[in-house]
Structure 1
Amino acid sequence: MKRVLGERIAGDLVASGVSAVASSPEEMRRDRRANLHILFLLAVILAPLAYRHWSTGEWLPAAAALVLSAVFVANLWMILRRRSGFLSPPTVLLLTIPLVILSVMFGQEYSLFWMYPLMVAVPSILRTGAGMWLGAPCLMVVIPAVFLEFETGMALIMLVSMIHTLLVSWWLMRAVNQQSSRYRNLVIHDALTGAKNRRHFEEELASAFSLWQRHKRISALIMLDVDHFKAVNDELGHAAGDEVLKALVALIQERIRGADTVFRYGGEEFAILLPETTVSRALVLANELRDRVKTSHMLPERRVTISLGVCDPSVAESADDWLRQADAALYRAKAAGRDRAQQVASLVQLPEPLGDALPIWR
């Protein structure tokens, strides 16, 4: 339960990785598992309320509890059948809170104590500050029931404790979310350059190749390498080499669109993934980057150049093959004398999706 709710609250952490594909199978499995446990958690609250009302002959709240139980069972059945539940966790929560209040109105004062786990569940289920906006109206609805059923002193104590419970839960969720964001950045970014890392690159590449296979949505891949980088490290030191890599990534990020992504593949080798871009347009960008690097004077002691290989998924049988083709084009560029870009000819003729020039969308 702790692990599942943790995934629900904090999202993808270091242990489980970060998926860049929306609604990926792993993401859907985690979401189903979290919803399943949340429903079980709320069923623990619902079951004693339904039993108590039924045994005392209070038919209205008993019927409401039974209907809500049937809804829960249907939702659980759909999740267990690997389908999406027709009720989201916030909806389930909103249905449970009125039942608790209804139970209090029928004389079951102890039902108010179920509001404590519900107040904790509000930020936990929503995972955002919106939990406060849902929790506040819940408290406003509960206040009359508290003061009607208990003496003023006890009612004030219960009200203050519920407010504290909601605030502490919200603060904890906010702290966890902030920490999760930091972990997520560590998982997908290269610490030195700030580019996305190799693991994230492999996920993005697989996603782009899948889009090509299913929907013929073209993308271009650029592999690039710093020429004679070992000589830079040997002659000027690794600190100078690190500065070159950071300056290179900054230069690329200034030029590419917001939809494009630069990755550090390994050492001095980088990859740029360009959605909705043909090979010919990617080659234009590759040569522009090559010229910018050559004239940027990254190091006063020597000129820095790069070699690039460009490829699209039409020539590949898999994402790995796509990467090999682009890498082969890169090494042909290096073998031809470096400081140049080579492309793998596309096997399809598609309309240019970006017009006459590659726009900067940043």
Structure 2
Amino acid sequence: MDVRTLFIAQTGALTAMAAMLWASRTAADDRNGMATWTVAVTSQGIAYLLLANAGRVPVWLSAFVGNALGAISVVLFFVAIRQFLGRGFHRWPLVALTVVVSVVAALSGAEYEGATVFNGFIYGAVQLLNGWALLRTPRVEWVRVQRVVAAFYLVMGVVLPLRATALMFEGAALDYINKPIAWQEPIYIFGFIFVIVTNLGFVLMCKMRAEADVRAQAMSDELTGLANRRSLAAAIEHALAVAARSQRPFAVVMIDLDHFKLINDRFGHSAGDATLARFATRLRTALRAQDQPFRYGGEEFIVLLHDADATGATLLAERLRQHVASPPDGTTPAISASLGVAVWQPGDSADSLLARADQALYRAKAAGRNRVETA
């Protein structure tokens, strides 16, 4: 198989990928880098088509336009990866890279190997940066795919400058694409595999991120940002299992905002929502690193206090009560809360633990609210 045939095969693969990416694009693609990646694939496919037809189309098309589009695609892949990782980038160095590559291609004209040698070193550096960025920002949900993609970028970052060096020593002819240099074919085969792996890998990472986002949304409360009741059920079961093994107690604190109905009636439901969100923020900042807050429903919240006995849990609950309380500021009402504490006992289930916390909360409200009671 000659190099030109491999180029054409890569072009076909890129064209098919670009078509599918354009057909499946969504609004979310603007946030995860997929929109940028789609443009990059399209640009690279056109570039490969022009470069594969070097000698068959005008030089300005294959040399200048082909290399310019190739540079644009390399830059856009770089940008897409950083968008996916949530990392910033400097625009002007990327613009300068595109301009320099295009100028070198224009000056090289039909001497395609000159631009190829120059691009090999420039693109190799960009691929190393891509691989390093992926390795530096791992996410457990898709870390295996991320590592594979990073590995291919790192290898390509070495292969490109090595090929450029070899071309310089070979003294390749003007029609080097058709010249049967033995080492070129394995490199272009690797390039074909690289195109498949990096494109498929990026799509898979975006898919896995979308799935993780859906799971996170299903386990969190949209208004307050706290974990929701479904997440609480899983967390309590885990805490029960740990406590049963270690015999180290934990506590459940059930919290109810005082007179919340009056807040809604007097200030409106939007003020009520703002009150809940403000309360959740104050609750979150009052907790220890290992403790977990949840929105239980309505104006009720639950906190899991890990590794806490009755004395420690009561002290922590009292600190929570004081921290979440806030006076009115003219536009928002005062906030106070009643808290019921239940500490794990051997043989407890999630239902029995929550039932005791609820009983303690009822006593706190019956005793005048804005206080802590322990079951």
SS at match of 1:129: helix
Aligned with residue 159 of structure 1, among 166, 190, 195? 190
Show the counterpart of 2:40: none
Q: Choose 1 or 2 for highest CA Rg.
A: 2
Show the counterpart of 2:149: 132
Deviation track 1:159-200 (CA, whole Å, cap 9, x = no partner) reads 321110121122112212322332232122100001100000
2:358 maps to amino acid? D
CA gap 1:276/1:237 in 2 versus in 1, 3 angstroms: same
Total equivalences in the alignment: 217
Alignment of structure 1 residues 231-250 onto 2, 5 Å: 231-250=262-281
Q: Does 1:327 align with 2:358?
A: yes
Aligned with residue 297 of structure 1, among 293, 307, 328? 328
Residue 246 of structure 1 deviates from its aligned partner by: 0.6
1:225 maps to amino acid? D
Alignment of structure 1 residues 345-360 onto 2, 5 Å: none
Q: Does 1:339 align with 2:370?
A: yes
Q: Bigger shift: 207-216 or 153-162?
A: 153-162
Identity %: 31
Given that residues 327 and 333 in structure 2 are in contact (C-alpha distance below 8 angstroms), is that contact kept between their aligned partners in structure 1?
Answer: no
Aligned with residue 266 of structure 1, among 279, 285, 297? 297
Show the counterpart of 1:313: 344
Alignment of structure 1 residues 1-362 onto 2, 5 Å: 127-135=144-152, 154-155=185-186, 157-297=188-328, 300=331, 302-314=333-345, 317-344=348-375
Given that residues 142 and 205 in structure 2 are in contact (C-alpha distance below 8 angstroms), is that contact kept between their aligned partners in structure 1?
Answer: no
Question: Aligned partners of 1:272 and 1:125: how far apart in 2?
Answer: 30
Higher RCO (C-alpha under 8 Å, 6+ residues apart)? 1
Show the counterpart of 2:33: none
SS at match of 1:235: helix
1:173 maps to amino acid? L
Question: Aligned partners of 2:306 and 2:330: how far apart in 1?
Answer: 32
CA gap 1:262/1:301 in 2 versus in 1, 3 angstroms: closer
SS at match of 2:243: helix
RMSD, aligned CA: 3.0
2:296 maps to amino acid? Y
CA gap 1:285/1:317 in 2 versus in 1, 3 angstroms: closer
Q: Bigger shift: 293-302 or 243-252?
A: 293-302
SS at match of 2:312: helix
Residue 338 of structure 1 deviates from its aligned partner by: 0.9
Given that residues 249 and 309 in structure 2 are in contact (C-alpha distance below 8 angstroms), is that contact kept between their aligned partners in structure 1?
Answer: yes
Residue 294 of structure 1 deviates from its aligned partner by: 3.0
Given that residues 275 and 332 in structure 2 are in contact (C-alpha distance below 8 angstroms), is that contact kept between their aligned partners in structure 1?
Answer: no
Q: Bigger shift: 300-309 or 219-228?
A: 300-309
CA gap 1:157/1:295 in 2 versus in 1, 3 angstroms: closer
CA gap 1:168/1:240 in 2 versus in 1, 3 angstroms: same
Given that residues 316 and 322 in structure 1 are in contact (C-alpha distance below 8 angstroms), is that contact kept between their aligned partners in structure 2?
Answer: no
Show the counterpart of 2:69: none
Show the counterpart of 2:112: none
Deviation track 1:105-164 (CA, whole Å, cap 9, x = no partner) reads xxxxxxxxxxxxxxxxxx9995342113444688889x99xxxx9966754542321110
Unaligned runs of 5+ in 1: 1-122, 345-362
Unaligned runs of 5+ in 2: 1-137, 164-179
CA gap 1:158/1:128 in 2 versus in 1, 3 angstroms: closer
Show the counterpart of 1:56: none
SS at match of 1:265: strand
Question: Aligned partners of 1:189 and 1:257: how far apart in 2?
Answer: 20
CA gap 1:295/1:314 in 2 versus in 1, 3 angstroms: same
SS at match of 1:127: helix
